[in-house]
Structure 1
Amino acid sequence: MEDANWDPRRVKMLLEFWRNLHKHPYYSSRDTNKQRAILIYQGEQRQKWHRALAQGAWDIGILSDRLLLDAFDRAYRLEREKLDALRDVHIVSGTTQGTTSSTSTPRGRVDGASSRTAKAPARAAADPYPRDRKAGFPDGASGAVLSACAICLGRHRHRVYDCDASQTWNGAFATMARRDKKDFTLNDGRALCYDWQRSKRCTSTLHDSRHLCSGCSLPTHGAQTCPRAEPAPPANPVPGK
């Protein structure tokens, strides 16, 4: 920078920028999304600052909490999208394998032998909208039911990440939310929190304005407990009914 005859004030700004990034709580956090937020912020702000130098750039050494929070939200949404995609692949592949195994038997084996040797489909690494478990069944038992889709609020098998239904599962209401590329918002543009729609809702206080139900837009609950959501099957159904 000295060889390029930089203004000493700008050199000081840039040094303060890196020093303050290293001191920021996001930098030393164990939350990988906060670490990604630091990378997003420094990359974008440094490029914008360099482009603005000719016109008189701002003091880049003063970090913007608002822009850091925006970078964190984007990192968080990207992570949730990856997990949603893994979940959808798992559901679709599980359905396909289940259909195949019920209609065909390997040559030279009886049904019992083939069922004993068949491998169960691999489980997804994580599930942003996990299945709720029926009472009395251990984890992984056949009593699992699907959670409500954050868009149509239905519990039927479908690619929830790509759901673009215009009405709720029963046709009683127009859907209130949408996914548009990297955004998860209400139809009026207000941003939503993915985790708020889960059975165990988000506990973060960093984005309270996003804690709205994707099914009805109220802040008192998420999609899983929305009155408009498809009711979950009874915990102990009576045989024959």
Structure 2
Amino acid sequence: DEDLSWEEFSKANIRMLQDMERHSWEKARIDMVQSFWIEIKSHHWCHNINDSNKHALLVFQGRVRQQWHTCIGTPTAFSLMPISDQRIIEYHDKIIDNAKSLEITKLQQVHLI
């Protein structure tokens, strides 16, 4: 999910919800996933010009949804709602840190040449 563009993510949501219905998922779970994605798509970072903010939303939703899917039917099952702004910020900070580390590595390689 985190490698998708925002447009691809939106199209994938529709397909996944259709597949969940086609495979007879419980309506409550389908509704939860749909509500989760509505919250992601309406988050204030979604409309920000900073690409790292949108990327953080994609990373957050992808990882949380995967964890949720893995935990369905187990004692560790949880609700996707409400979304956690704190976790979104944590993913954003990691994205920024990784980008900075990559830039430093590139600069070090250029300097060595």
TM-score past 0.5 threshold: yes
Aligned counterparts of 1:49 and 1:78: Cα–Cα separation in 2: 25
TM-score by length of 1: 0.36
Greater helix share, 1 or 2? 2
Query: 1:78-133 CA deviation, whole Å, 9 max, x = no partner?
Result: 1101111122123222xxxxxxxxxxxxxxxxxxxxxxxxxxxxxxxxxxxxxxxx
Deviation at 1:2, TM superposition (A): 2.5
User: Retained in 2: the 8 A contact 1:15–1:61?
Assistant: no
Q: Which residue of 1 aligns with 2:30?
A: 11
Q: Could you tell me how far 1:28 is from its partner in structure 2?
A: 2.0
Match runs of 1:138-149 below 5 Å: none
Is this contact kept in 2: 1:18–1:61, CA < 8 A?
no
Letter in 1 for 2:32: M
The structure with the larger Rg is: 1
TM-score normalised by L of structure 2: 0.73
> Identity of paired residues, percent?
22
Alignment check: 8 A CA contact 1:41 1:67 kept: yes
- 1:106-185 counterparts in 2 under 5 A? none
Q: CA deviation at 1:53?
A: 1.0
Higher relative contact order (CA 8 A, sep 6+): 2
Q: Matched residue pairs, number?
A: 93
SS of the residue 1:54 aligns to:
coil
Match status 1:87 vs 2:107: yes
2:96 equivalent in structure 1: 76
Superposition RMSD in Å: 1.6
State the one-letter code of the partner of 1:62.
P
- Spell out, residue by residue over 1:35-77, the C-alpha distance to the aligned partner (whole angstroms, 9 max, x if none): 2211211111111011111126322132111211111011011
1:16-27 to 2 correspondence within 5 Å? Answer: 16-27=35-46
- 1:63 is matched with 83
The one-letter code of the counterpart of 1:90 is: V
Structure 2 unaligned spans of 5+: 1-19
Letter in 1 for 2:104: D
Q: How far apart are the structure 2 equivalents of 1:29 and 1:81? A: 24
Tell me the residue number matched to 1:140.
Answer: none
Secondary structure of 1:63's match?
A: coil
Aligned equivalent of 1:133 = none
**Runs (5+) with no aligned partner, structure 1:** 94-241
SS at match of 2:22: coil
Shift of 1:32: 2.0
Which is worse superposed, 74-83 or 23-32? Answer: 23-32
1:35 matched residue in structure 2: 54
Question: Distance in 1 between the 2:100 and 2:41 partners?
Answer: 26
Matched residue SS, 1:61: coil
